[in-house]
Amino acid sequence: MATPEELVRLLVSPNESLTVEYKSWLKLAEHPDRATLAKAAIALANHGGGIIVLGMRPDNAEGGALGSERRPDGLRRYSQDDVNAAINRYAEPAFHCELLFACDPNTGFEHAFVIVQGGMTVPVMSTRDRDGIIMAQRCYIRKPGPRSEEPFTAEEWRGLLESCVRAGRKDMLDSIRLIVQGHAGVVPAGGVADALIAFADQSQERWENLIDDLPPDDDARMPLGRYGLAFQIQDVPPAPSLAELRRRMDEASAIRYTGWSPFVKINRGPLAPNPVNGMVEAWLVDPEEGPARAPQHCDFWRAHPDARLFLKRGYDEDGIDRIEPGKYFSLTTPIWRVGEAVLYVARLARLFGENPSILTRCRYTGLRSRVLKSLNNRRLLMGNYQCHDNEATLETQATADEIDNNLAEVLHPLLVPLYERFAFFELPMRMVVEEIQSMRGGRF
């Protein structure tokens, strides 16, 4: 789910993609600007969801790089109704978008973020013409560039329709799940994960070498706690080159459910992925920038051509201003973070083979004395669930199809031992189902 820190990251390191679009300030009381916003939102909804960032303009003095722009005098702060009224004047079927705000830490200017939900079971079409900006009875999709245009080729139409079919299938499966509990995912047999454990240990050692010269209090060390996710796509031929491995990873990254996706790629200086020791590697830390960063955005990840991946990240709850670092453990964030990661690896796995089996290993550290907490207060949590253990290691094995079609059944048994460490808290299956629905629908 998008946190205030993730929204700020979209301002500090702007990077347009298929799921993130930047716009200048729009006058939503005027029809041309309403049409501009609607066209972008329709394309993102048909793509599977995304974010529109308002108040960013190309700076010609900086080579066209996007820069923060003050909201013009006379343009009042947007309301939720302003946004949805503008979009749904042109969209059929109508859909709801969330409106959030965050300030650029460098300029102090406040920006608006329109969170577009995905999970549409039918293509969204435009209903009106407006000044050559948008045409009636047209579908718009996101295309590389990035840009919002109509689908013209058979492949583009197929992608749009398959996305709607998948959304409808997920709704049907979620309904059936409430009646008959399915099963997916098994604990790997002894010795099966040995190679993956060795890879995770080597990756941990590599990360420790990278942070060795950082100041002791640097958040990039994730000193209060962190988690590592390791994956092995089994019985598939290796990627023929690092360039092909990165291409496959980029293709798997085309679908994003949150503002800070797994194996996130930032194409800027030392943060960009690079070939290191025969692997694709990224460390989202620039030591020259100093220690002003948040632990949940200091990712280290690497991918081996033999279809092994590793990701290390700090806890979101340790980088939120209103929460005391190291005190709490988010009630729902593990469902979102692990869920989004295994979905990513399932997409990547299909680029290695038809329906490979995937080993997943999660290791959480820095748990002792933390208390379960609903960070966004969307869920009522009765009682004080404190952890007296410091670590948790979780493992499962599932095919790409099982992950895609029965994600809740894969995640629930995987995460139960983690939650049990918090005073025997029993993770409800229904909560896993509902949080997955929210994640896949872009409902942060």
The enclosing domain of 93 has a CATH number of: 3.30.950.30
Q: Do 105 and 41 share a domain, yes or no?
A: yes
pLDDT of amino acid 178? 44
Exposure class string for 140-163: b at 16+ Cβ within 10 A, else e:
bbbbeebebeebeeeeeeebbeeb
Q: Do 155 and 224 share a domain, yes or no?
A: no
183 within domain boundaries:
no
Q: Do 323 and 260 share a domain, yes or no?
A: yes
Q: Which of 59-73, 115-129, 304-318 has the lowest mean pLDDT?
A: 59-73
pLDDT of amino acid 42? 95
Residue 269: pLDDT over 90? no
189 within domain boundaries:
no
Q: Do 119 and 254 share a domain, yes or no?
A: no
Q: Do 108 and 205 share a domain, yes or no?
A: no
pLDDT of amino acid 181? 46
Q: Do 305 and 411 share a domain, yes or no?
A: yes
Residue 174: pLDDT over 60? no
211 within domain boundaries:
yes
pLDDT of amino acid 62? 60
Q: How many domains does the chain have?
A: 2
Residues in contact with 391: Cβ distance below 8 Å, sequence separation at least 6, in sequence order: 363, 364, 365, 367
Are the beta carbons of 319 and 294 closer than 8 angstroms? yes
pLDDT of amino acid 292? 60
Per the structure, the complete domain to which residue 99 belongs is given by 4-175
pLDDT tier for residue 442 given thresholds of 50, 70 and 90: low
Are the beta carbons of 442 and 117 closer than 8 angstroms? yes
Whole-model pTM: value is 0.63
Q: Do 84 and 144 share a domain, yes or no?
A: yes
**Alpha-carbon gap, residue 404 to 99, rounded angstroms:** 29
Residue 177: pLDDT over 90? no
Last residue of a domain, one of 121, 140, 175: 175
Residue 10: CA count within 13 A, CB half-sphere: 33
Residue 179: pLDDT over 50? no
**Alpha-carbon gap, residue 87 to 81, rounded angstroms:** 10
Q: Do 159 and 232 share a domain, yes or no?
A: no
Q: Which of 251-255, 356-360, 439-443 has the lowest mean pLDDT?
A: 439-443
Q: What percent of the chain has pLDDT over 70?
A: 92
pLDDT tier for residue 60 given thresholds of 50, 70 and 90: low
Residue 19: pLDDT over 80? yes
Does residue 145 or residue 200 have the better pLDDT?
Answer: 200
164 within domain boundaries:
yes
Pick the closest to residue 39 from 127, 121, 106 (CA basis): 127
Residue 185: pLDDT over 80? no
163 within domain boundaries:
yes
Q: Do 240 and 121 share a domain, yes or no?
A: no
| Mean model confidence pLDDT for the chain | 89
188 within domain boundaries:
no
Q: What is the mean pLDDT of residues 21-35?
A: 95
Q: What is the mean pLDDT of residues 356-379?
A: 92
pLDDT tier for residue 134 given thresholds of 50, 70 and 90: very high
Last residue of a domain, one of 175, 209, 244: 175
Q: Do 95 and 200 share a domain, yes or no?
A: no
pLDDT tier for residue 163 given thresholds of 50, 70 and 90: confident
Does residue 122 or residue 32 have the better pLDDT?
Answer: 32
187 within domain boundaries:
no
pLDDT of amino acid 33? 95
121 within domain boundaries:
yes
Q: Do 142 and 202 share a domain, yes or no?
A: no
Does residue 57 or residue 189 have the better pLDDT?
Answer: 57
Angle at 18 between CA 13 and CA 22, to 5 degrees: 50
Last residue of a domain, one of 124, 146, 175: 175
pLDDT of amino acid 184? 66
Q: Do 230 and 167 share a domain, yes or no?
A: no
Query: Model confidence over 400-434: pLDDT tens digits?
Result: 999 998 899 999 999 999 999 999 999 999 899 88
pLDDT tier for residue 48 given thresholds of 50, 70 and 90: confident
Q: Between β-strands 65-68 and 328-330, what pairing exists: parallel, antiparallel or unpaired? A: unpaired
pLDDT of amino acid 161? 83
